């Protein structure tokens, strides 16, 4: 499998690369997959193998790997003005236009936009905004942030503290004051005999208890992904947001929707909060914001929170926070094009979000069919994000022994068959590009079916 010759791409990738979020056993055995280019939803490695990338890169390459309009927007902007910051009262025209456009396409009547280079930075920035606001409004105690177990909000020290993953222990995180509620995953977290409605209402009670215990005046905000992404493509339980948002509102706690994955069409709606029928106080955006063609993140503040923050910084005289490359004109030009391509329809094509909606039934049917396997405990999905959860015993929902690395094996077997999908805990996550055809959906599921049969034969 792996090319072990000293000068191979695999050896070179290993010799000088320090790999994050990578299963090092697989990496050592198989070597890194070193990629050269892509076409549509396919990527190609240095040996000429092609892979259907059912992960859209990392959720983000939703328009595929060779979209002519996005690449042309980047080239044109590099020729015109290849870089500038957004600090000291200077800003590129592209960044100005992008803020206007994001305000227009946001679920807010009016929005204010602040740029970062990543989703993690956007979440860190949001928390600093909330901290500044509390201090300035005479409530300096308002510092705690509520998120959920299994949530993924990034890896910088504050964003990692918001992330509800066990690996944070390795870093001595979370920082104090980051509270993680129960993950709203009914299939895994529901108690025996508990209905989904009862489960949701139990999570509402938990939130009320946490607010009572901590004191509403110690809480700066609640941040949630509409559908949890890196937690394993987990949709909220029925009625979840309808239950928690009124509780948060009653206590004056700002609600932030982390739309780094869900925003820009992934759920079949422009925004995940729209899919679940709520309007947050702020949206965190990244990944799809540029369809993956440029590193960029944004905090999109709704009128109430944006207004309060604007007043606070007016009185202070400055918001002392910014990133050098944020609001980059090339990123902004690409994001403007991505909004056209995904939300509005560009160059005579229908908006890609329409394709997400029309592909969703075939995507769900494919997941449901594979979930008939005795070793698949649950399929779940919203729009074009979904997952299959492997189990040793379907009725008891017993997971496989972790040392079997079942999901890792499935993903490796898929890669041998020319399909990239993502192992996540005991589940396999699919989040294909929005440009997929029905035939490519068929290819994705038939390769995955072969891989599941092979791996479950080995381990079950």
Ligand X SMILES: *Cc1c(COP(=O)(O)O)cnc(C)c1O
Where on the chain is the footprint of ligand X (CB under 6 A)? 118-120, 123, 152-154, 225, 229-230, 258, 260-261, 286-287
Least spacing, CB of residue 350 vs ligand X, in Å: 26
Write out the two tokens for 340: 């056209």
The number of CA neighbours under 13 Å toward the Cβ of 311 is 9
**Sequence-ordered strand ranges (E) for 197-302:** 219-224, 255-258, 282-285, 297-301
Task: Give min distance, CB of 9 to ligand X, in A.
Answer: 25
Judged by CB, which is closer to ligand X: 31, or 297? Answer: 297
* Shortest CB 192 distance to ligand X, Å: 31
Nearest distance in Å: CB 290, ligand X: 11
C-alpha 425/C-alpha 404 separation (Å) is 12
Helix runs in 225-277, H state only: 240-250, 272-275
Shortest Å, Cβ 118 to ligand X: 3
Nearest approach, Cβ of 273 to ligand X (angstroms)? Answer: 13
Q: How far is the CB of 382 from ligand X (least distance, A)?
A: 14
> Which H/E stretch holds residue 115?
strand 112-116
Other beta carbons within 10 Å of 420: 22
Nearer to ligand X, 276 or 456 (CB): 276
Contacts for 212 with CB less than 8 Å, ≥ 6 apart: none
In angstroms, give the least distance from the CB of 442 to ligand X.
27
Task: State which residue, 86 or 118, has the beta carbon closest to ligand X.
Answer: 118
Q: Is the dihedral of CA 255, 261, 267, 271 positive or negative?
A: positive
Indicate the residue whose CB is closest to ligand X: 119
Q: Rounded CA gap, 83 and 329, in Å?
A: 6
Sign of the Cα torsion 33, 38, 42, 44 reads negative
Peptide bond into 175 cis (omega under 30): no
**Structure tokens that stand for 447 in this block:** 């390769």
Residues 6 or more apart from 62 whose CB is under 8 A from it? 56, 264, 265, 266, 288, 291, 292, 342, 352, 433, 434, 435
273 CB neighbour count, 10 Å cutoff = 25
Cα–Cα distance for residue pair 150/442, rounded to 1 Å: 30
Is the separation of the CB atoms in 337 and 346 below 8 Å? yes
SS3 441: helix
Whichever of 56 and 92 has its CB closer to ligand X, that residue is 56
Residue number, 259 or 340, with CB nearest to ligand X: 259
Evaluate whether 366 touches 386 at the Cβ level (below 8 Å). no
Identify the three-state secondary structure at position 386: strand
The residue (of 56 and 120) whose beta carbon lies closer to ligand X is: 120
| Closest distance to ligand X from the beta carbon of 262 (Å) | 8
Q: Which is nearer to ligand X, 231 or 351 (CB)?
A: 231
R_g over Cα of the chain: 22
Show the CA angle centred on residue 261, arms to residues 72 and 46, nearest 5°. 55
Q: Which is nearer to ligand X, 103 or 163 (CB)?
A: 163
Q: Which is nearer to ligand X, 111 or 298 (CB)?
A: 298
Q: Which is nearer to ligand X, 123 or 413 (CB)?
A: 123
At closest approach, how far in Å is the CB of 46 from ligand X? 25
């Amino acid at each position: 499998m792996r090319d072990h010759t000293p000068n191979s791409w695999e050896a070179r990738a290993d010799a000088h690369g320090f790999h994050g979020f990578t299963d090092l056993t697989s990496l050592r055995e198989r070597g890194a997959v070193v990629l050269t280019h892509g076409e549509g939803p396919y990527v190609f490695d240095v040996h000429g193998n092609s892979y259907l990338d059912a992960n859209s890169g990392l959720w983000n390459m939703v328009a595929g790997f060779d979209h002519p309009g996005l690449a042309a927007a980047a080239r044109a902007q590099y020729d015109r003005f290849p870089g500038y910051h957004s600090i000291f009262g200077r800003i590129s025209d592209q960044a100005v236009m992008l803020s206007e456009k994001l305000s227009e396409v946001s679920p807010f009547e009016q929005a204010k936009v602040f740029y970062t280079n990543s989703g993690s930075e956007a979440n860190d920035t949001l928390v600093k905004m909330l901290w500044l606001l509390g201090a300035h409004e005479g409530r300096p105690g308002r510092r705690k942030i509520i998120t959920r177990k299994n949530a993924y909000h990034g890896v910088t020290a504050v964003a990692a503290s918001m992330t509800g993953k066990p690996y944070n222990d390795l870093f001595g995180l979370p920082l104090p004051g980051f509270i993680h509620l129960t993950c709203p995953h009914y299939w895994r977290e529901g108690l025996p005999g508990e209905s989904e409605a009862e489960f949701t209402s139990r999570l509402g009670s938990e939130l009320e208890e946490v607010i009572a215990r901590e004191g509403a005046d110690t809480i700066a905000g609640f941040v949630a992904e509409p559908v949890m992404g890196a937690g394993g493509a987990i949709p909220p339980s029925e009625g979840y947001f309808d239950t928690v948002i009124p509780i948060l509102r009653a206590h004056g706690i700002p609600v932030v929707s982390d739309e780094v994955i869900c925003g820009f069409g992934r759920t079949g709606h422009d925004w995940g909060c729209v899919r679940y029928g709520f309007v947050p106080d702020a949206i965190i955006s990244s990944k799809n914001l540029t369809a993956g063609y440029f590193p960029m993140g944004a905090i999109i503040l709704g009128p109430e929170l944006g207004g309060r923050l604007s007043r606070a910084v007016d009185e202070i005289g400055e918001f002392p926070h910014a990133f050098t490359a944020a609001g980059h004109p090339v990123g902004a030009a690409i994001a403007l094009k991505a909004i056209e391509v995904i939300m509005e329809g560009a160059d005579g094509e229908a908006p890609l979000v329409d394709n997400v909606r029309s592909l969703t039934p075939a995507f769900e049917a494919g997941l449901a069919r594979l979930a008939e396997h005795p070793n698949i405990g649950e399929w779940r999905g919203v729009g074009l994000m979904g997952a299959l959860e492997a189990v040793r015993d379907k009725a008891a929902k017993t997971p496989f022994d972790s040392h079997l690395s079942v999901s890792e094996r499935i993903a490796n077997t898929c890669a041998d068959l020319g399909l990239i999908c993502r192992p996540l805990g005991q589940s396999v996550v699919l989040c294909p590009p929005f440009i997929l055809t029905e035939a490519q959906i068929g290819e994705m599921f038939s390769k995955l079916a072969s891989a599941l049969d092979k791996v479950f034969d080995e381990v079950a």
